[in-house]
């Protein structure tokens, strides 16, 4: 799914087919899918509560600030690259968390939790900075 999402974004930019609706729907769909998968994995004991809380809190904050900008200033901010990399590392962490029997993948998923968390904090800071500049 992530590869098709990247391809979609690349083609939209390359062919100059970026729309205001697309800037809203694409990241919203990503957040819904990642959030649903993370919740299911948490309920099955595959990921820790703190990790899912960070993912959902980030998504809620971005959605809230995005709605405020759209309503007050008629602006839709596009996602930033650290945010895109954060989604990639979250996805990898979720995939590797499935393989708890493999010590290497278990260690790798744990490392990706922290890398994802750093990227979430950093990209959220960048979103907030852009929010204040508009």
User: 26, 28, 27, 56: which is closest to 40 by C-alpha?
Assistant: 56
The mean pLDDT values, 10 residues at a time, for the chain of 134 residues are 62 71 72 89 94 91 82 76 88 90 89 94 87 76
Residue 113: left if φ>0, alpha if ψ -120 to 50, beta else—which one?
A: alpha
**Its pTM surpasses 0.85:** no
Average pLDDT, the chain: 83
Cα dist from 71 to 2, 18, 29, 65, 93, whole Å: 29, 20, 20, 10, 34
3-state secondary structure at position 69 = helix
CA angle 122, 125, 129 (to 5 degrees): 140
């Amino acid at each position: 799914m992530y590869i098709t999402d990247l391809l979609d974004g690349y083609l939209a930019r390359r062919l100059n087919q970026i729309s205001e609706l697309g800037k809203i729907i694409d990241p919203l769909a990503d957040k819904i899918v990642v959030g649903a998968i993370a919740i299911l994995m948490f309920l099955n004991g595959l990921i820790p509560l703190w990790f899912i809380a960070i993912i959902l809190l980030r998504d809620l904050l971005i959605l809230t600030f995005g709605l405020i900008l759209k309503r007050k200033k008629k602006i839709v901010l596009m996602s930033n690259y650290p945010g895109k990399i954060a989604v990639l590392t979250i996805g990898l962490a979720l995939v590797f968390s499935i393989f708890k029997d493999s010590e290497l993948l278990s260690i790798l998923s744990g490392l990706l939790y922290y890398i994802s968390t750093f990227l979430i904090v950093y990209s959220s800071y960048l979103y907030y900075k852009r929010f204040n500049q508009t």
